[in-house]
Amino acid sequence: MALCSMEAVKDGIPKFIKSEDALGLYKEFVPLWGCQIPFIKKLGVRGLFTRELALLILMIGTLTGAQWGIYYVFNVFIGLLSSPL
């Protein structure tokens, strides 16, 4: 939806809700998460917390830190923040 024009969103969302119900907007979350995190199905919840949690925290923490770094550099570049250096 972020790449659509606002007119398309204003026209499309009410039509979608009438045909699918409001919960239809969220019906694809579980299959999406199932594709994005396939090791949870293999290991189960116990295996996730005993074997994979540290790796998951490292992976997500690194990606989140990189995103915040890009956000900060962009804001400094366009003049919204001053660089501490």
Question: Could you report the per-residue pLDDT of 46-72, keeping only the tens digit for each?
Answer: 776 777 778 878 888 999 999 999 999
Residue-wise pLDDT for 5-43, tens only, equals 777 778 777 887 788 777 777 777 777 666 666 666 666
Do 1 and 9 touch, CB atoms closer than 8 A?
yes
What is the reported pLDDT for 37?
64
The contacts of residue 27 (CB under 8 Å, 6+ apart) are: 20
What's the rounded Cα separation, in Å, for the pair 83 and 19? 50
Instruction: Give the residue extent of every domain in the chain.
Output: 48-84
